[in-house]
Structure 1
Amino acid sequence: MTSKAVVVAVVVTYNRRELLQTTLAGVVSGTLVPDAVVVVDNASTDGTADYLRSYEGPVPTDVVTLNTNVGGAGGFVVGMERALLDHGADYVWIMDDDTEPQPGALREVLDVSEAYEQETGDAPAFTASRVVWTDGRDHPMNRMRPRIGASEAERSVASRVGAFQIRSASFVSVLIRAAEIRRHGLPIADYFIWNDDLEFTARVSRRGVALATNASVAKHHTKVFGDAGADPGPRFYYEVRNKLWVYTRSNALAPWEKVLFTGASLRNWTRTIASSTNRKVLLAGFWKGLRHGLKAPRSNAAVLEGIYALRNVQDPAK
């Protein structure tokens, strides 16, 4: 399939210069390359800024250097807005700096998205790649949530275009329609790390279609093979606080989904704490996350004040 759509890749990076090089190499060497790449540097201190100043790739690259680390969530807010307003994106292809898209990653998600639209007249909100670890195993951190209640007809049409229906995805090689970002707003910057992708992708797909395809593959270069409960340490705070925000402050999930997912989270948190060798740290993060989760996240403008001035894409945290 030949597409005339404008695709802009967005990569958020922080102190992982070598991994970023692998990410950019994968982005620009695929069988289909984006029209532009936006790289958001979250105030790295490891030489990333110097590398990006001298970087000359075959695809136009727009580097946004922030003076404060606002996490992956804040970085994606900045990068996605830049892709829409400065580069006229029809699709935004997003990923972290530990993602290595394989050669056919972009072509396959775009082909699936356009084939589904041609088949049904209704474009999917986003299409996600299969995410594997460095050894090729499916990465448990990036499990796709299947769409519960999808009809046989809906599953069938997805299958015909080489995909399956999902409810949410991680920000590791996911192709999002720009129109959906404009309709539903940007991610919420105050999440900082973790679950910003769950909240955003569930929000845009709640009343729309979201797909994943195994034909598109991206490697996720995490240090360990496991999900967020494998070794969370102090970051467990963000897992707890942000999940509470998803369940109590966001319209991303239907009421019945909130009940179902809350139960699953409570089970997972219990197992994570019980199996930890440093329960004191996790318990401290758990109670702090509970306290802070009672207060709504700040607006994107408040989080990014003095760092980056947002313009015309709606802010869901207001």
Structure 2
Amino acid sequence: MIKNANIGVVLVTFNRLEKLKKTLESYAEQTLYPQYIIVVNNASNDGTTDFLAEWENEASPYKRIVINLSHNLGGSGGYYAGEKEAIKLSASWIMVADDDAYPSADYIEGMDSFIQSYIGGRLAAVCGSVVEKGSYALWHRRFKRKGFSLEYSEVTRPEDYQKKDFEVSYISYVGPVMNKVALQEVGLVDKDFFIWNDDIEHMQRLGKYGKMFCVPRYELHHDVDSQNSALSWKSYYGLRNNLVLLKRYFPLRFLIVLSLLTAKAILCPLKGKCLQEMRLRLTAIKDGLVGNLGIHPVYKPGWSLKKSV
């Protein structure tokens, strides 16, 4: 007899068909199936749409739902669309993850077991550990610090992953299983962040509902590419969204960081950096200051400093 956990899954994908296939296969191999998987297709043009049309109609022990967006809304917009649909469905818990995060075969079962056995009051979310390139990616799960800093969180430590479970304050959007009641109370992810820091902002709100835990024995293998330190479109959203996050929750630190980032931007030419970099930084600062969110008309996916020079 097929059993399903009281958990649904939301995945967002954009032009990573081969990784998406591997991800979906990992959910098909779970020891305990989710109730459903929602795949939000962020207007991919690499064959993903055709693949998902077939995948959605295949026989399956869980419901398969595909949401094809007309244009790329970024990770934030994609997750918002998926969560909005998931709220309507029967599962009491909603898991979100990237299209390049492969859960271990017992991940859903492990999350379900923790939820069912938890007796510590209101539980907002639970997650497993994230493994990147063979090692725990510590920054995906964080503790809260006291103070008014963007570094209000500190990354988890290797020794934490030797524990049966441990409480956390922030969980990246790589594998958290969130309480639907909590989502209904504090709201869904902020779709206007586009990318980056949307998950941290969301966890800031979820933490007001209840506690969050990591159960490290259950893993997600995050198939990330090597990070490129060059200035790109992502740099704009990282700077802007950091400021928005600080302004909302840590106003004193916001003023300090705003001053430091502005000085750094203005000094770009003096450090031998081009005017394009200064313009990106100042634009991000201005938009973070006044709260201009969404996709920027210049800094769209694919923009890079090299291409614009």
Task: Tell me the TM-score normalized by structure 2.
Answer: 0.77
User: Where does residue 259 of structure 1 map in the other structure?
Assistant: 253
Which secondary structure does the structure 2 equivalent of 1:173 belong to?
coil
Query: What letter matches 1:65 in structure 2?
Result: N
Query: Deviations for 1:199-252, whole angstroms, at most 9, x for unmatched residues?
Result: 00121114521111211100111111x5xx84552210000111111111x3xx
* C-alpha separation in 2, matches of 1:183 and 1:279: 46
User: Where does residue 71 of structure 2 map in the other structure?
Assistant: 68
C-alpha contact (below 8 Å) 1:5/1:91 kept by paired residues: no
Pairing 1:44–2:44 present = yes
User: Where does residue 138 of structure 1 map in the other structure?
Assistant: 136
Query: Deviations for 1:167-213, whole angstroms, at most 9, x for unmatched residues?
Result: 11111111001001000001111100111001001211145211112
User: Where does residue 16 of structure 1 map in the other structure?
Assistant: 16
The offset of 1:288, in angstroms, is 1.4
Q: Describe how 1:277-316 pairs up with structure 2 within 5 A.
A: 282-296=277-291
C-alpha contact (below 8 Å) 1:90/1:179 kept by paired residues: yes
* C-alpha separation in 2, matches of 1:6 and 1:189: 25
C-alpha contact (below 8 Å) 1:173/1:218 kept by paired residues: yes
The offset of 1:261, in angstroms, is 12
Q: Describe how 1:79-228 pairs up with structure 2 within 5 A.
A: 79-85=82-88, 87-115=89-117, 117-118=118-119, 120=120, 122-133=121-132, 135-139=133-137, 142-148=139-145, 162-206=164-208, 208-224=210-226
Query: Deviations for 1:112-165, whole angstroms, at most 9, x for unmatched residues?
Result: 2332x33x2x132011221111x321225x43111447xxxxxxxx99x92111
The offset of 1:111, in angstroms, is 1.9
C-alpha contact (below 8 Å) 2:26/2:103 kept by paired residues: yes
* C-alpha separation in 2, matches of 1:262 and 1:50: 49
The offset of 1:26, in angstroms, is 1.2
- Please provide the CA RMSD for this pair: 3.3
The offset of 1:81, in angstroms, is 1.2
Which secondary structure does the structure 1 equivalent of 2:15 belong to?
coil
User: Where does residue 25 of structure 2 map in the other structure?
Assistant: 25
- Aligned pair count reads 271
Q: Describe how 1:234-273 pairs up with structure 2 within 5 A.
A: 234-248=233-247, 250=248, 253=249, 259=253
Q: In the superposition, relative to structure 1, how do residues 234 and 60 fare at CA in structure 2: closer, same or farther (>3 Å)?
A: same
* C-alpha separation in 1, matches of 2:168 and 2:23: 25
Query: What letter matches 1:193 in structure 2?
Result: I
* C-alpha separation in 2, matches of 1:88 and 1:23: 23
The offset of 1:6, in angstroms, is 2.5
* C-alpha separation in 2, matches of 1:279 and 1:108: 50
The offset of 1:57, in angstroms, is 5.8
Query: What letter matches 2:281 in structure 1?
Result: F
Which secondary structure does the structure 1 equivalent of 2:91 belong to?
coil
User: Where does residue 302 of structure 1 map in the other structure?
Assistant: none
The offset of 1:282, in angstroms, is 4.7
Which secondary structure does the structure 2 equivalent of 1:162 belong to?
coil
The offset of 1:281, in angstroms, is 5.5
Structure 2 residue runs without a partner (length 5+): 147-159, 295-309
Query: Deviations for 1:255-285, whole angstroms, at most 9, x for unmatched residues?
Result: 6xx739976xx69x97xx9xx9987665443
Q: In the superposition, relative to structure 1, how do residues 183 and 27 fare at CA in structure 2: closer, same or farther (>3 Å)?
A: same
Q: In the superposition, relative to structure 1, how do residues 242 and 28 fare at CA in structure 2: closer, same or farther (>3 Å)?
A: same
Higher mean C-alpha deviation, range 122-131 or range 189-198: 122-131
Q: In the superposition, relative to structure 1, how do residues 136 and 261 fare at CA in structure 2: closer, same or farther (>3 Å)?
A: farther
Higher mean C-alpha deviation, range 60-69 or range 103-112: 103-112
Structure 1 residue runs without a partner (length 5+): 150-157, 300-318
Q: In the superposition, relative to structure 1, how do residues 147 and 211 fare at CA in structure 2: closer, same or farther (>3 Å)?
A: farther
The offset of 1:298, in angstroms, is 5.9
* C-alpha separation in 1, matches of 2:255 and 2:173: 19
* C-alpha separation in 1, matches of 2:31 and 2:134: 20
